[in-house]
């Protein structure tokens, strides 16, 4: 088992009132699964994804990731955990504007203190795999949305994570580009990467083996 959420609650205090963002979420994810999260806007999908990604904290419940109890971990350990196992893909790509495609891919490796030759090899692999060798010296602003998202995914994959978290990865793309991304996810999933994606499209959700529906912070 990769991760497990038990009775997760998250709320914010607003004017002396608790506003629940997530209520009693229970979720088990096995390694190699492909899961879609769906639900209307504001239903808490991103919040849930951030909690899984350990970028956000929750108020109640338990979260176990591999052997670790995330709810008991210190901030530092938590960030080490996600650095090691999780890659993020964003709706708005979130590439670093000042860096070329090559350098964007290299960035996570720099933070993880890979040697220069290892970095070269890994980046070259990724460029090859996603067919963007010719684009390696371009800046994000010189790419189309679909190409940027490809780079975003390549960057998420480069340090070989167990889990990919993707928040509406196709939200800013046209349907053809979206389909390409989904095909890549399917491929990756076959290679053993666990994927959790948030999506609004039934068609994209169908790529997953299982769908979780949220409404007002609750599973339905």
Partner 1 sequence: MFKNHIKIAWRGLKMDKMFSALNILGLSIGLTIAILLFSFISFEKSFDKQYKSYSDIYRVLVNTTGDAFDKEIMATAPAAVAPALKEELSAVKYAARMLQHSFGETAFIKANNNNFIEKRLFWCDQELFSIFDTKFIKGDPASAITRPNTVVLSKSAAEKYFGTIDPMGKTIKVDDKTELEVTGVFEDFAKNSTIDCNLIASFSSTYFSKEPSWSNSSFETYVQLKDNASKVASENQMQQILDKNVDKQGQWYTLSLQPLSEVHLYSKDYTSTYTSRIGSISEIKNLSFLALLILLIACVNYMNLMTARSQKRAKDVGINKTLGASSKSLVGRFYAETGLLTLIALCIGVVLSIAIIPIFNTITGASIDYKFLMAPSFIIGVCIVWLVTTLVAGSYPAFYLSGFSPSAILKSANRTVSNAVIRKALVVFQFTASVVLIVGVLVVYQQLEFMKNKDLGYKPQNVIAVSTAAIKTYNKKQALANEVKKLSSVIEVGSAQGFPGMDVSGRSLHKNDQDENGKNIQTNVADASVLEVLQLKLLAGKTLPSVKQEGDTLVDVVLNKKAITYLGLTPEEAIGKKVDMQLGDNATIIGVVDDFNFESLHKPIGAYAFHNSRFEGKPYLLVRFNSASVANTMRQLESAYNKVATDSSFDYTFLDKNMEQLYEQDRKTAKVGLLFCLLAIFVACLGLFGLAAFTAEQRKKEIGVRKVLGASVLGITQMLSADFLKLIAVSIIIAFPVAYIIMQKWLETFAFRISIGWLVFFVAGMCAVIIALITVSFQAIKAATANPIKSLRTE
Q: How far apart are the first and last CA of the chain?
A: 23
Of 4-33, which residues contact partner 1 (CB under 8 A)?
none
C-alpha distances in Å from residue 117, one per residue of 106, 123, 154: 11, 10, 18
Exactly one of 6, 64, 136, 159 binds partner 1 (CB under 8 A); that residue is 159
Exactly one of 36, 43, 148, 194 binds ligand ADP (CB under 6 A); that residue is 43
Exactly one of 83, 120, 129, 218 binds partner 1 (CB under 8 A); that residue is 83
C-alpha distances in Å from residue 12, one per residue of 6, 20, 47, 199, 220: 19, 7, 12, 24, 22
Query: Which is nearer to ligand ADP, 39 or 169 (by Cβ)?
Result: 39
Considering only the stretches 104-112, 126-134, 185-193, 199-207, report the one whose residues sit in contact with partner 1 under the rule CB under 8 A.
104-112
Is residue 216 at the binding interface for partner 1, with CB under 8 A as the rule? no
Considering only the stretches 1-9, 35-43, 101-109, 139-147, report the one whose residues sit in contact with ligand ADP under the rule CB under 6 A.
35-43
Considering only the stretches 40-48, 111-119, 185-193, 205-213, report the one whose residues sit in contact with ligand ADP under the rule CB under 6 A.
40-48
Which among 30, 36, 35, 28 is positioned nearest to 4, based on CA atoms?
28
Is residue 144 at the binding interface for ligand ADP, with CB under 6 A as the rule? no
Q: Could you give the CA distance from residue 167 to residue 164 in angstroms, rounded to a whole number?
A: 10
Partner in contact with 97, chosen from partner 1, Mg ion, ligand ADP, none, beta carbon below 5 to 8 Å by kind: partner 1
Is residue 172 at the binding interface for ligand ADP, with CB under 6 A as the rule? no
CB of residue 46 vs Mg ion: minimum separation in angstroms? 3
Partner in contact with 206, chosen from partner 1, Mg ion, ligand ADP, none, beta carbon below 5 to 8 Å by kind: none
Is residue 12 at the binding interface for ligand ADP, with CB under 6 A as the rule? yes
Footprint of ligand ADP (CB under 6 A)? 12, 21, 39, 41-47
């Amino acid at each position: 088992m990769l991760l497990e959420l038990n009775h997760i609650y998250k709320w914010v205090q607003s004017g002396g009132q608790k506003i629940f963002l997530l209520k009693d979420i229970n979720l088990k994810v096995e390694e190699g699964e492909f899961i879609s999260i769906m639900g209307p806007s504001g239903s808490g999908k991103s919040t849930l994804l951030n909690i899984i990604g350990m970028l956000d904290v929750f108020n109640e419940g338990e979260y176990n990731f591999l052997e670790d109890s995330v709810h008991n971990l210190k901030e530092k350990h938590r960030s080490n955990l996600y650095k090691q196992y999780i890659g993020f893909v964003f709706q708005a790509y979130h590439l670093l504007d000042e860096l070329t495609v090559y350098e964007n891919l290299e960035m996570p490796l720099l933070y993880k203190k890979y040697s220069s030759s290892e970095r070269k090899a890994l980046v070259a692999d990724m460029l090859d795999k996603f067919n963007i060798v010719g684009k390696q010296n371009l800046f994000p602003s010189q790419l189309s949305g679909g190409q940027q998202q490809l780079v975003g995914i390549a960057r998420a994959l480069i340090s070989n994570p167990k889990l990919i978290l993707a928040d509406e990865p196709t939200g800013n793309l046209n349907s053809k580009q979206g389909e390409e991304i989904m095909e890549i996810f399917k491929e990756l999933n076959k290679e053993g990467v666990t994927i959790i994606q948030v999506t609004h499209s039934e068609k994209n959700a169908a790529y997953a083996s299982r769908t979780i529906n949220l409404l007002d912070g609750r599973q339905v």
